[in-house]
Amino acid sequence: MRAMIALITGASSGIGEATARRLAREPGSQLVLVARRGERLRALAQVLGGALVLAEDLTDEGAAARIAEAVEAEHGRLDMLVNNAGAGWSGTFAQQGAANLRRTIEINLLAQARLTEALLPALHRSAPSCIVNVASTSGRVARPGSSAYSASKFAFIGWTDALHLEEAPHGVHVGLVNPGFIATEGFPQRELVGRASTRWMVSTPEKVAEAIIDAGPGGRAERYVPRPYALAAAARLLLPGGVRRVLASRDGTALSTTTAAGTHAASAAGDQERDRAATGADR
């Protein structure tokens, strides 16, 4: 893997932080760290031996342009973009309504699209380059209590697939990573880890970071973490009725975990270590 300029959103914790640490091990790599929590970004940059720190809320419509200007001024190019920031709120559609759908799509799709649009010129100049969109298994298999979140991730995945086809002629590979349950500081997944029958479902931010390498410089189209989650996505296509029955059963609805903020739906597991605040949070 050539020395690269890589930008990671949601870099202050969880998957984003693990990805920054992984990329920092590559010879000559130079990182751009983006998240809302500037103090945590600066501490991480110091540990990594230096990085460009940009404390931004991606739901601010001016953030993408400011980030692109900073990257241009500091590096003049960009080899890898990791769209990892996102957020989710538990609750049924009847409880949360269209307002929750709107705010979830804003951070999980539109904010990522604005940033990608702003950085595409730099990615084109650096070709061959890559974009990795970190979505969720909930973008392939929806669950009750997370309709807005699943809708945003289904849309994010569809946009990713189309974007790859559009950008491949320009030398920009677009890969996709779909995490499932990821054990982090804020979401330790004690309920799942404590049961032998569900322990296999839980992975780590470090393994997601390796998947991001595979889906970016490695040229893979799509990776699931843990890998067996790909079977659930395949079953959803081949046996949709059966998957619905399983998810509606007691075993299916029992897949929820306790966090510092209470109960978090399993469908939001791919976006776990984010700011405890609402929008613009970090994975």
Per-residue confidence (pLDDT) for residue 272, from 0 to 100: 39
Give me the residue label for tokens 């991001």: 212
CATH number at residue 186: 3.40.50.720
pLDDT digits (tens, 9 = 90+) for 176-233: 999 988 887 656 777 777 787 777 788 999 999 999 999 999 999 999 998 877 888 7
The rounded distance, in Å, linking the Cα atoms of 189 and 206 is: 16
For residue 213, tell me if it sits in a domain: yes
The count of residues in the chain is 283
H/E stretch holding 9? strand 5-9
Domains held by the chain: number:
1
For residue 282, tell me if it sits in a domain: no
For residue 201, tell me if it sits in a domain: yes
State the residue range of the domain holding 246: 5-271
For residue 283, tell me if it sits in a domain: no
Residue 274 pLDDT grade (very low, low, confident, very high; cuts 50, 70, 90): very low
Query: Does residue 84 surpass a pLDDT of 90?
Result: yes
Q: Is 149 a catalytic residue?
A: yes
For residue 78, tell me if it sits in a domain: yes
For residue 36, tell me if it sits in a domain: yes
3 state SS of 136: coil
* Full-model pTM: 0.87
Average pLDDT, the chain: 86
The rounded distance, in Å, linking the Cα atoms of 264 and 274 is: 13
The rounded distance, in Å, linking the Cα atoms of 212 and 19 is: 8
The single residue of 119, 149, 203, 216 carrying the catalytic annotation is: 149
